Structures are given as C-alpha cells and as structure tokens.
Structure 1
Amino acid sequence: MNQTTQAIKETAFNFDGQTGFYRGKVRDVYHFDDRLVMVATDRISAFDVVLPRPIPFKGQVLNQTAAHFLQATADIVPNWLLDVPDPNVSVGLKCQSYPVEMVVRGYLAGHAWRQYREGHRTLCGVALPDGLKEADQLPEPIITPTTKAHEGHDEDISREEILERGIVPESEYVQLEKYALALFKKGTEMAAERGLILVDTKYEFGSLNGQIYLIDEIHTPDSSRYYYADSYTENQQQDLPQKQLSKEFVREWLIANHFQGKEGQTVPEMDDAWIEQISNRYIELYEKVTGKSFVRSETDNIYNRIEENIRRSLTVTYF
C-alpha cells in the first residue's frame, strides 16, 4: 500500500434536500425525505471505541459485502437497497426501523456461550440443552432478540416480553421471525459454498407503507461470525478453538497491547505496517466470503469522488 492511499475518516457533505445527518461508529448517514444515503467510512471500532486511525478499503469491503448479500436474498424478503453509486456508498429506502434486532444463532458462541458457561440454560426465553461446549452446533437455529440501544449496549429480550410490552405487534413479529430464519438458512447455504459455517448473525428490519423491509447490512464479518468448515469437526473433537473469519484478530491485538476499552486505558499506537495488515485482512475477508476478487477503488480525491457520486444518485428517481 503506497503512501498516497487515502482512507475515509469521516464525511461532512451538505446536499440539497438533506433533512438530517447521523454519524455512527462506522457509517455516516444522510437523510432525505424518501431515502437514506449511507457512507461506509474506513473507521474501525472495537470494544465500543472508534480507533484513532482509519483502515484503507475497509468501508468498501463492508459496503460491497452487504450489497452482495442483499442482492442475493432479495427473493426472500424485500430490502432497503436501491443503488450502490460508489464503492463506499449505498442508497436505500427510508424505513421506520423496528426497535429490536433479530439475532439468529446456529452454534453456541460469543455472548450465548458466555451466558451458558455461567450456568444459564435459557437465553432470551429460549431453552438450551445441557451438555454443550463452546462452538457446538445447536439442535436448530434459535432467535435471541436484542433491543436496539441508542446509547450503550443492546440488551437481551425475550419474544414474550416484546409482545407483552407491545414493542412489535404480534403479526409483524411472527413475520420478522420467519424472515430471519429464512435469511439465516440462505446465509448458511451461501457460506457452505465458500467452505464456511455461518455461526450467528443479526438482522434489522423496518417498515414502509405497511411493507416489511430488510435494512442495514447482512452477513458481513462485522455483523456475523463465521467458522472454517474444513477444520470445524477436528477442532471440536480436540477441544481446540475454532478458526474464525471476523475482525477478532483486531480485538486480540488490542488485548495483547492492554486495551479493552476500559476507563484509564489508552489505545495502543497503530503504525503503518499494522494498518496495512488490517486492510489486507479485510480484503481477504471479502474475497473469502463473497468468492469475488476485490478491486481497490480509486483513492485519489476520494472525498470528491464520493460526493460527486452521491450527487449523481440524488438525481435518480426510484419511485
């Protein structure tokens, strides 16, 4: 990676007709009356902290991976995506999002494993059998919803509580469950074609004019966990950790350098060599998950490129 490679730290465009702006950990979102324009920046977060240096091409990887899977699942559920006018930009329908995330788990990993290890045998109202160990396949995929927190961490919630509190009407929630499980089935099949196991993932949905839409990203390494299929059985039999396809390597590096986002801790120095390594790993992730070759976008005048492509997309009539 040469010294002139630019990375996108943040954007601050101003468009005609813009009605709002939101900056998330990774994305900058521009609101309009009938659409959202989502810029996947090169920011990277870990332990709920945005790290100080952006990673070249990370946003492109995230944006194009999400588009790949949204297009591949459009026959299962309508989704928000209208256009990808730039490698880092998605334009989509402006939906009213449901205040829950549908987390689907096919294996005992991550948060579910930590709860299980502590002795819990019910997660979000779903009973789990005794005798499981980390990374074991569950009898069948389960849905463990979470509330969507505007600040802090999302919280587990059960199906029963969602319905009792009227967070989502029952008829709509039943449809969200059907969509989530169908998407997970499709994601599992697509992962298997790539020699991968889709371990768990999350889906977000919204509504517009009485229609449910899949929104945000799906099946990306930032929103999902993958294992490598070829070593899965042997690793389970020998009680070895599973080889993961995710950004876990960044977290491991931070932990090794004494940072877990806790008070008083300082993010370790991220030198050019480490930045390049992270960038290359993300590109590998894209190619492994999608089966496509990654084409690095032009990074000279990167902000001008993105702004011009968004302005062009805003002249398109989708409705």
Structure 2
Amino acid sequence: MNTLTKTQFKFPNQTTVYKGKVRDVYTLENNKIIMIATDRLSAFDVVMPKGIPYKGQILNQIATKMMQDTQDIVPNWLEATPDPNVAYGESCEPFKVEMVIRGYLAGHAAREYKAGKRELCGVKLPEGLKENDKLPSPIITPATKAEQGDHDEDIAKEDILKKGIVSKEDYEVLEKYTYLLFERGTKLAQERGLILVDTKYEFGKTANGKIVLIDEIHTPDSSRYFYADTYEELQQNNEPQKQLSKEFVRQWLIENNFQGKEGQTLPEMTDEYVNTVSERYIELYEKITGEKFIKAPLENIEKRINDNIAAFLKTQ
C-alpha cells in the first residue's frame, strides 16, 4: 500500500523545513507552520524502514480532536487542519524537554523498576510494585528532547532548573498544564472504556511569550492505554495488560533482539506485520474517539496534500 514516508514540498513563503522522526514541519514567513504527519514509525528513537498505512492521518486526527477537547484548560498552537495528514498553526520556540506523566508503572518506568531502580527523574517509587500497577498518584518524569538519531534521556526537575534548560517560572506552568491535561485525558479515556496509563506533552512559547501545547496529544505514539474492563482481572492474575499503544511494536522489537542499541540489527517488517500495525492504529482511533475511521485516499498522497494546502493558503 502507498504510504507517506518522506515529503519534499515547496510552499509559498516557505522559510525552513525540519524533519522529525514522524512529522515534517514547514515554517512560513508569517510565523505560521505546516506540520505534516507522515506514516513513518519510530520506536526506541529509530525510524522503521517501512511506513504504516493511515498512521499519519490517525495521529493527526486524534491530536486535532484532543486539542479541541482540551483547549478550554490549556492553550495550543493549532489553528486549522487543511488535510487529514496536516495541521496548521502558530510557530513556537519548543521547550527542550518532554513532559512525561505516568499514572501506572508501565513501559520504560517498569523496565527501570525491574532493573532495581526506585527513583525515576528524582521521583521516589514505593517498594512492592509490579508491572502495570497504579501509582499512588501521577508522577512527572521529564525527558530531554533528543537531537535526530539520539535517545531521549530521563532528567530530574532539579537538573532541568539547575542547567537552565527551562526557567523556574516557565517550568511551573509546564507542570501545571501537564497535570491538567492528564486529568482531562484520563476522563476522556474513561468515557471510552480505556485507562490513560502514561503520556507525554510538548510545549512551546509563541512570539509574544505565551506558553502553548504543541505537537501531538493522547495519540498511540505519545500515550499508552489499557482496556478498563479487563485491567483488574489481568493484574490480579499477573497477566500482560490488553493495551492500545505503540508498546506492542516495542515488545515485538525486543523479542527480535532490537532496542536501538549499537550493533543490533532491525528485524524484517513483513507486509503482513505492517498491516497488523495499521489495524491496531485504526482500532485505537475508533476506540479513543468513538468515531468510525474514514480512510483518506492513498492513490497519490503527496498530490492530495499539496492541493489541499495550496487551496487553504489562498484563504489566509
């Protein structure tokens, strides 16, 4: 199937292009940006060799809906979505930390705990927890944003402030917004029979100094969800949780001896496996939004995006 794994657009009044692991960001002269969600799949900070059909559309549409559902409590950068894969809004200077918040001991936190660590990013964890247990209260475990190709790294709040990565005044706003968003995200997930386990938020500052939510929110790439109806029983029986997130990709890679470390070789992603991943993303979209996923045409994704953006820009 046709997927969008790279973009080479040239928009009117374009100044710069930044290509992230999944999103390509085109900056325009009027302090606006066009963010294109590609079908690239990244895990352990490595981009997989094949794109996942509809993944970019799914991420963009979930993020759009979630930003609309949280804009009453936290301002965000988004102004319009001219195409299923495209978001348009205000250019911001991103903070160089990702605000990771965890309500449960899962994923990276569980791996660290299993290795014997009882402190994560300066936050002490109680003894006697097992994987996927609910934490006494949600904890923020920030990560430094990696330059391309490098791993994101855990960092304590104290180190962020000491190194001057974020000012104390700004960090307090990021912290407040992170708790508010996680509380709202938890409520939205509960309404759909899901548990929002952990997630990350990214923030930026506009030209006039306003702190806003940027990038994606509550998508399977940035969040982990469990099914609420089976959580207790599986936990009591020490069985793996049924979950909707990118963790199933990470687990597949771990089983195939890959964690992004030097000397490791990426396992082959068969077409069958790629389609399975696509189906999981569609499942999450429908579960978290409560809406049927409508597949955008894939015949010529680049032309579709270019035409939709060109038509939109004429109205600006």
TM-score band w.r.t. shorter chain: over 0.9
- Matched residue, 2:109: 112
Aligned counterpart in structure 2 of residue 99 of structure 1, from 74, 96, 103: 96
1:109-148 equivalence runs, <5 A: 109-148=106-145
Aligned counterpart in structure 2 of residue 175 of structure 1, from 173, 176, 193: 173
Aligned-pair CA distance for 1:243: 1.3
Q: For residues 271 and 132 of structure 1, what CA distance do their matches in structure 2 show?
A: 37
1:1-319 equivalence runs, <5 A: 5-33=1-29, 34-151=31-148, 152-208=150-206, 209-317=208-316
Aligned amino acid, residue 182 of structure 1: L
Q: For residues 145 and 98 of structure 1, what CA distance do their matches in structure 2 show?
A: 12
Query: Structure 1 pair 240/186, CA: closer, same or farther in 2 (3 Å)?
Result: same
Contact 2:97 2:143 in 1 (8 A): yes
Query: Structure 1 pair 265/147, CA: closer, same or farther in 2 (3 Å)?
Result: closer
Give the TM-score normalised by structure 2: 0.93
Aligned-pair CA distance for 1:80: 0.6
Aligned-pair CA distance for 1:49: 2.4
1:267-310 Cα offsets, whole Å, 9 max, x none, are: 34433333322222211111011111100112222211101111
Give the TM-score normalised by structure 1: 0.93
Aligned-pair CA distance for 1:7: 1.4
Aligned-pair CA distance for 1:259: 4.1
Q: Structure 1 residues 85-94 or 111-120, which shifts more?
A: 111-120
Aligned-pair CA distance for 1:65: 0.8
What is the root-mean-square deviation of aligned Cα atoms in Å?
A: 1.7
Q: For residues 15 and 166 of structure 2, what CA distance do their matches in structure 1 show?
A: 27
Number of aligned positions between the proteins: 313
Aligned amino acid, residue 117 of structure 1: K
Aligned-pair CA distance for 1:256: 4.2
Q: For residues 159 and 252 of structure 2, what CA distance do their matches in structure 1 show?
A: 38
Aligned amino acid, residue 45 of structure 2: D
1:16-55 Cα offsets, whole Å, 9 max, x none, are: 2111111122111111131111111111122332222212
Q: For residues 144 and 76 of structure 2, what CA distance do their matches in structure 1 show?
A: 21
Aligned amino acid, residue 89 of structure 1: V
1:127-151 Cα offsets, whole Å, 9 max, x none, are: 2222211111111111111111214
1:232-283 Cα offsets, whole Å, 9 max, x none, are: 1111211111111112333333444454444454434433333322222211
SS in 1 for 2:36: strand
Detail structure 1 runs of 4+ shifted over 6 Å in the superposition.
Answer: none
Structure 1, unpaired ranges of 5+: none
Aligned amino acid, residue 309 of structure 1: N
Q: For residues 257 and 250 of structure 1, what CA distance do their matches in structure 2 show?
A: 11
Contact 2:226 2:243 in 1 (8 A): yes
Structure 2, unpaired ranges of 5+: none
